[in-house]
Amino acid sequence: MKKSTILIVLAFFSIYVIWGSTYLFNKIAVSEIAPLLLASIRFLVAGILIMVIAKILKKPLTITKSQFLNTIVAGFLFLVYGNGVFVWALKYVDSGFAALLASTQPLFVLFLLRLIDGKKMQKKSLLGVFLGILGMYLLVSQQEITTSENSILGILMILSCVLSWSYGSVFVSKANLPQNFFVSTGYQMLVAGVLLLVCSLLFHESWSSPFEWSSKVQFSMVLLVVFGSIVAFTAFNYLLKVVSTEKVATSAYVNPVIALLLGWYFLEEHISLQSIIACIILLTGVYFINARKKVAKNKVTTKPQKV
């Protein structure tokens, strides 16, 4: 097996399985840490570690003005809004439920590619869109969810985060970023960490010392930094450059299932029959969105454009 093939397989494992578990760890951590502060600490620590490792490996850390500006945009779309606000919304919705909402990402990517690149939707894609919308409706229309305090706000904010992440995926596939994926991830982490820290101050979040956190929260933060941030996000940036954006979005197949099972097992989150049906319909829709002719699976662009 070629080295590049092995890297792609390992990268997909990272965004499938590791990211599926981050819903659980974020849910645990946000129970004691303010959400924006949580995300800021996570990405600042991860960004610093990445840069130190890159320096040890003698990777070039130089960055052009264009690349730095694109890094700011990508960091904001993925990590400041796409993740920071998502973590905030976990205060009001279950981790497994949030993962199911996030599984609509391929639907958003499809619409964005249609708007930005004018890609036509094939019959399978249209069927996938219909099933995706139906599954989403069944998911969010459950009485026990709609009557929960601030749950509607949490749902709307999560969907806006999915839109932000989806646009970021399309943007990065075209943007001029540092050639080394590890270094590119590091810059995005550092930029996002600083922006989230500023946001935490502006929103007057309460800060607490890591020594005051419970052991389960400390453990969750370590896993979020090392695996959820450094390993998985680096793999994500790598995949966006070597395979199509739509293929990367197929992580939506696996993430919700893992998140649902972990939330049910460790946090005793309730999984209703309607949620299971909605999950099946949603993921079937995601399958049809991605199961298109090869000609439609080409990358968004054949080579990066300077933005």
Residue range 153-209, pLDDT digits in tens: 999 999 999 999 999 988 988 899 998 888 998 999 999 999 999 999 999 999 999
- Spatial contact of 87 and 30, defined as CB atoms under 8 Å apart: yes
Give one word for 118, left, alpha or beta, with left for phi > 0 and alpha for psi -120 to 50: left
Helices assigned H by DSSP within the chain: 3-13, 19-29, 35-56, 65-75, 86-89, 95-102, 105-117, 123-140, 143-146, 151-174, 181-202, 215-223, 232-242, 245-248, 251-266, 273-290
Establish if 3 belongs to a structural domain: no
- Asked if residue 296 has pLDDT above 70, the reply is no
Burial label, 159 (beta-carbon count in 10 A; 0-12, 13-18, 19+):
middle
- Spatial contact of 50 and 234, defined as CB atoms under 8 Å apart: yes
Establish if 216 belongs to a structural domain: yes
Find the range with the poorest average confidence among 5-19, 255-269, 272-286, 289-303.
Answer: 289-303
Establish if 2 belongs to a structural domain: no
Cα–Cα distance for residue pair 20/228, rounded to 1 Å: 9
Q: Which domain holds residue 230?
A: 8-297
| Number of domains forming the structure of the chain | 1
Establish if 307 belongs to a structural domain: no
Establish if 306 belongs to a structural domain: no
- Spatial contact of 168 and 237, defined as CB atoms under 8 Å apart: no
Sign of the dihedral through C-alpha 226, 228, 233, 239: positive
Q: What is the pTM of this model?
A: 0.83
